[in-house]
């Protein structure tokens, strides 16, 4: 493609206003000063047919007859020619036509009868077509298939870029080709995706080592794309690959600083990484630096105007503090230390629960009508039987995917906080029994008129009743489980089911530690995860064997399984 000589390289607004453009990317400063939305620099294309172009049912033209009749500023901006490749098989215009997107069940007929090239070429037309198959809605709904909710608008930013770096292009193509291979059962496409992924990693490494390219936002996006490849398409499906990419991407984010992620592509990638930081923090019982005040508010020009989901993530980023407090309580042998730590945990949990209730009230006010409604479940499960019936006869339906996502994350946080309070109360009850058995008079009174803990006079009556919190295994956890059917019915390239998997895994971990018999519910989760895998959704990178072990370990500590053994000597 060659640009028309002499054309202005300014943004659309400056060119229409006939003023000099400063050429600032991604948006012009002149537009910002005049409170205009910069419409960018991307130029529209007009294609000239030539004898070297492959076109079915079209005649070649050298005189510009194929150009639009309107040669104004908005029509013919760039003249492009696509020459036939002499080294690769020709791809017909019928296969690459952008006039329609084949549905999932039409994909075999669209590409299944075409000989696969030796490698996926990165010519822009073929690249755009491959990405379109994975980004556009299969039923012509005007949404982006991989970009549900504001936090995933990084793909929308990528689609608006005039050109992609090789690292980002190959990483995205790796995901797209892998998804295409999974949907059409073509292992050669899966093999090709791995080659593209490896090539993209090599290019990304060179860019990061180059000081002049290191801070390019597209490198951060390429890191995220590689991370998502490990989650959704990696043939190995191991936790190590995902973990390495997560830590590497997080480190690149930290080195760039909070101020470098205030807008555009960098900001949208930053929001996705916050989601990963939430679940990794819960599993590892370690808060990420993203929970620091600098990173909670810094990347937002106006922190008070954060979207509801981002305010919810701010709360979720603090969950590792609760599990760390639980771990400290069970490893402390000093009785006064156990009591002090437990009371501090109760205060932390109560504050977080109040923050969640405040968030829910504000979120509910932004949604007209009901947030969800129950319907009879359409799913059969391996744990259902004529005698016991369906374990979840009712499933939740939501008016929009973004509402479902917000509520599931809210329920995850609420479940964790309520479980934390319940098990902390259980530990305090156990401590009180030990103090009574040892004799309260043997402990010195530390009451000084304040709220300081005192082993001699502490009793459970001083704490507010747990009330409805004790029902969390059958209320909050059930809410998440009853949302699974909605996410699985989306069938949006595997990202609908993929969204619910981490929450589902956490629910299963908490059920394993809850008092009572929850074996049937635990088996139901295993059946749902198996069903998700059968849909062709690769979740090995985010739910491998080591992750399951980590989840079991963290929930045991979080929920307080075991017996405290303080030293009363």
Phi, psi of 439, rounded to the nearest 5 degrees: 100, 110
Beta bridge partners of 3: 78
pLDDT tens, the chain, 569 aa long: 444 445 567 887 788 888 888 888 767 888 877 767 676 775 544 444 444 444 444 333 334 433 334 433 333 333 333 343 444 444 343 333 333 344 444 444 444 444 555 555 544 554 565 555 555 444 333 333 333 344 557 877 887 788 889 999 898 888 888 877 877 778 888 888 889 999 999 999 999 988 888 889 999 999 998 888 887 777 665 677 788 888 999 999 999 999 999 988 999 999 989 988 988 888 777 888 999 999 999 898 887 888 898 999 999 999 888 877 777 776 777 888 888 888 888 999 999 999 999 999 999 998 888 999 999 998 888 888 888 888 999 999 998 888 898 999 999 999 999 999 998 898 888 888 888 888 888 888 877 656 678 888 888 888 999 999 999 999 999 999 999 999 887 554 455 677 788 888 889 888 988 888 999 999 999 898 888 777 655 554 444 444 444 445 444 444 544 555 556 55
For residue 443, give the 3-state DSSP assignment: coil
297: Cβ–Cβ under 8 A, 6 or more apart, which residues? 303
In this prediction, residue 376 carries a pLDDT of 93
- pLDDT tens readout for residues 437-482: 888 888 888 776 566 788 888 888 889 999 999 999 999 999 999 9
Burial level of 430, CB count in 10 A (0-12/13-18/19+)? Answer: middle
Residue (of 494, 493, 524, 495) closest to 507 by Cα position: 524
Q: Kindly report the three-state secondary structure assignment for every residue of 67-101.
A: CCCCCCCCCCCEEECCCCCCCCCCCCHHHHCCCCC
> Using CA of residue 336, residue 338, residue 343, residue 345, what is the dihedral sign?
positive
What is the rounded (10 degree) CA torsion for 377, 379, 380, 386?
10
Report phi then psi at 395, rounded to 5. Answer: -120, 150
Q: What local confidence, expressed as pLDDT, does residue 60 receive? A: 38
Chain centroid, CA 180 distance in Å:
21
| Cβ(268)–Cβ(151) below 8 Å | yes
Between the CA of residue 473 and those of 333, 421, 508, what are the distances in Å?
A: 30, 13, 10
DSSP string covering 304-370, please?
Answer: GG--HHHHHHHHHTTHHHHHHHHHHHHH---HHHHHHHHHHHHHHHHHHHHHHHHHHHHHHHHSSS-
Provide the pLDDT for residue 124: 57
pLDDT score for 519: 92
Cα distance between residue 104 and residue 126, in whole Å: 18
Question: Strand, coil or helix: what is 23?
Answer: coil
All residues at 6 or more sequence positions from 513 whose CB lies less than 8 Å from its CB, including other chains: 419, 423, 555, 556, 558, 559, 560, 561
Distance CA 304, CA 320 (A): 24
Full DSSP string of 167-179: HHHHHHHHHHHHH
pTM for this one? 0.70
Q: How far apart are CA 73 and CA 17, in angstroms?
A: 12
3-state secondary structure of 15: helix
3-state SS assignment for residue 42: coil
- Per-residue confidence (pLDDT) for residue 108, from 0 to 100: 44
Three-class SS of residue 251? Answer: helix
Per domain, the residue ranges of the chain are: 119-279, 326-559
SS3 2: strand
The whole-number pLDDT of residue 386 equals 84
pLDDT at residue number 129? 57
**Closest Cα to residue 217, out of 265, 155, 157?**
265
User: Residue 109 has what pLDDT?
Assistant: 45
């Amino acid at each position: 493609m060659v640009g028309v000589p002499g054309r202005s390289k300014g943004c659309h607004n400056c060119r229409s206003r006939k003023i000099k453009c400063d050429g600032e990317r991604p948006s012009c400063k002149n537009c910002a000063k005049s409170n205009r939305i910069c419409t960018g620099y991307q130029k529209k294309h007009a294609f000239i047919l030539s004898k070297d172009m492959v076109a079915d049912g079209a005649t070649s033209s050298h005189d510009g007859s194929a150009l639009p009749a309107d040669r104004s500023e908005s029509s013919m901006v760039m003249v492009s020619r696509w020459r036939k490749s002499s080294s690769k098989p020709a791809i017909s215009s019928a296969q690459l036509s952008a006039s329609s997107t084949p549905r999932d069940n039409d994909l075999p007929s669209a590409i299944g009868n075409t000989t696969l090239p030796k490698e996926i070429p990165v010519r822009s037309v073929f690249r755009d077509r491959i990405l379109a198959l994975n980004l556009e809605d299969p039923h012509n709904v005007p949404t982006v298939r991989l970009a549900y909710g504001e936090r995933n608008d990084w793909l929308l930013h990528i689609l608006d870029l005039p050109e992609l770096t090789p690292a980002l292009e190959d990483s995205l193509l790796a995901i797209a080709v892998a998804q295409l291979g999974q949907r059409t059962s073509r292992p050669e496409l899966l093999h090709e995706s791995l080659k593209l992924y490896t090539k993209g990693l090599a290019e990304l490494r060179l860019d990061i080592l180059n000081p002049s390219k290191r801070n390019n936002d597209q490198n951060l996006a390429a890191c995220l794309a590689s991370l998502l490849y490990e989650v959704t398409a990696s043939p190995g499906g191991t936790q190590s690959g995902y973990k390495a990419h997560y830590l590497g991407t997080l480190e690149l984010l930290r080195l760039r600083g909070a101020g470098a992620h205030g807008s555009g592509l960098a900001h949208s990638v930053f929001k996705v990484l916050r989601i990963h930081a939430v679940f990794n923090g819960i599993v590892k019982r370690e808060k990420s630096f993203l929970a620091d005040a600098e990173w909670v508010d810094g990347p937002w020009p106006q922190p008070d105007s954060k979207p509801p989901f981002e305010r919810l993530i701010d709360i979720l980023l603090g969950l590792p503090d609760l599990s760390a407090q639980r771990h400290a309580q069970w490893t402390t042998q000093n009785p006064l230390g156990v009591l002090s730590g437990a009371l501090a945990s109760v205060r932390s949990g109560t504050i977080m629960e109040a923050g969640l209730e405040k968030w829910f009230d504000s979120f509910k006010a932004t949604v007209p009508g009901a947030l969800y409604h129950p319907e009879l479940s359409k799913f059969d499960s391996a744990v259902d039987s004529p005698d016991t019936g369906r374990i979840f006869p009712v499933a939740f339906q939501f008016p929009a995917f973004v509402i479902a996502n917000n509520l599931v994350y809210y329920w995850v946080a609420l479940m964790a906080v309520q479980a934390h309070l319940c098990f902390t109360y259980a530990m305090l009850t156990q401590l009180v029994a030990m103090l009574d058995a040892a004799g309260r008079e043997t402990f010195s009174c530390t009451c000084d008129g304040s709220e300081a803990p005192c082993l001699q006079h502490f009793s459970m009556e001083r704490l507010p009743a747990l009330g409805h919190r004790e029902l969390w295994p059958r209320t909050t956890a059930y809410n998440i489980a009853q949302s699974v059917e909605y996410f699985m019915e989306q069938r949006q390239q595997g990202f609908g089911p993929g969204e619910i998997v981490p929450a589902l895994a956490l629910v299963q971990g908490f059920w394993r530690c809850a008092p009572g018999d929850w074996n049937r519910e635990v088996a139901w989760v295993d059946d749902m995860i198996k069903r998700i895998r059968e849909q062709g959704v690769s979740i090995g990178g985010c739910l491998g064997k080591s992750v399951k072990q980590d989840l079991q370990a963290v929930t045991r500590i979080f929920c307080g399984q075991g017996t405290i053994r303080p030293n009363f000597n």
